[in-house]
């Protein structure tokens, strides 16, 4: 994207590049939540961005820092979580309960990030009706796998409009179309490349094979510079360090 080009903006008015960095800030803040404050320099270094970029990103949240103190960790966690998740845990469904879907259901990190599994969905008669293990805030529990034929009812009952797609490649597109028709508007796709999101549906692809290929490249070319995600100096929405005030140096600033 050329310099000065407009940045893609999410529905909340925050640039998509900033949205993609917020989970990094959240994780760093969660790791240091035992301390009261953190400076912009410390947070930026831990998140892998420059301080100016960090301050610009946090300015979209209305964050305020204090001179000589930095950011209040607890308050900033709440602000970032509020923009990423909202005031309550967000329900989601797992579509496709084969080996990948089962592994996703057992992942224990959803609750701390503000998510909860609302339903397990499949089409196979051998899986529908089975009780499978899922991770929950209270610890491991079980949930009955429901049929894709009940998807409209599941959405109505649970309010879940976010789905993890873990179905075979051959049925991925038709499953996405069916989910969209039922009111699902956000899909994390583990199925395959080439799946098209219907109008009004946001779809993100996770291709494990592609990621392995990238790592394999660096194994074959050990002298190649390591890839650093979103280097701040090259980002269109990055700002010069002097353009944003550091809360550690200013009296009280919106950063």
Q: Is 120 annotated as a binding residue?
A: no
182-186: long-range contacts at Cβ-Cβ below 8 A with a sequence spacing of 24 or more? 182/151, 182/152, 182/154, 182/155, 183/152, 183/155, 184/93, 184/151, 184/155, 184/160, 185/161, 186/161, 186/162
Taking the C-alpha atoms of residue 89 and residue 92, their distance in angstroms, rounded to an integer, is 10
Give CA angle at 212 (208, 213), nearest 5°.
Answer: 115
Q: Is 97 annotated as a binding residue?
A: yes
Q: Is 98 annotated as a binding residue?
A: yes
Q: Mention every residue, 6+ apart, whose C-beta is less than 8 A from residue 103.
A: none
Residues forming the annotated binding site for NAD(+)? 96-101
Residues forming the annotated binding site? 96-101
């Amino acid at each position: 994207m050329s310099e000065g080009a407009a940045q893609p903006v999410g529905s909340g008015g925050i640039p998509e590049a900033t949205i993609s960095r917020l989970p990094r800030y959240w994780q760093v803040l969660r790791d240091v939540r035992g301390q009261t404050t953190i400076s912009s320099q410390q947070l930026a270094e831990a998140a892998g961005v420059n301080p100016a970029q960090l301050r610009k990103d946090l300015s979209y949240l209305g964050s305020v820092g204090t001179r000589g103190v930095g950011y209040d960790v607890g308050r900033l966690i709440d602000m970032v979580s509020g923009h990423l998740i909202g005031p309550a845990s967000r329900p989601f469904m797992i579509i496709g309960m084969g080996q990948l879907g089962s592994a996703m259901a057992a992942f224990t990190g959803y609750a701390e990030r503000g998510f909860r599994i609302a339903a397990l969905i499949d089409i196979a008669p051998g899986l529908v009706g089975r009780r499978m293990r899922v991770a929950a805030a209270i610890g491991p529990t079980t949930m009955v796998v429901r049929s894709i034929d009940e998807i409209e009812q599941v959405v109505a009952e649970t309010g879940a409009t976010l789905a993890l797609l873990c179905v075979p490649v051959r049925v991925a597109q038709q499953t996405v179309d069916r989910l969209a028709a039922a009111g699902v508007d956000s899909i994390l796709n583990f199925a395959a490349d080439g799946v098209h999101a219907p109008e009004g549906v946001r779809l993100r692809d996770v291709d494990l094979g592609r990621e392995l290929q990238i790592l394999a490249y660096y194994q074959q070319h050990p002298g190649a510079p390591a890839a650093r995600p979103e280097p701040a100096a090259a980002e269109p929405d990055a700002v010069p360090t002097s353009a944003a005030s550091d809360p550690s140096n200013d009296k009280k600033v919106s950063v």
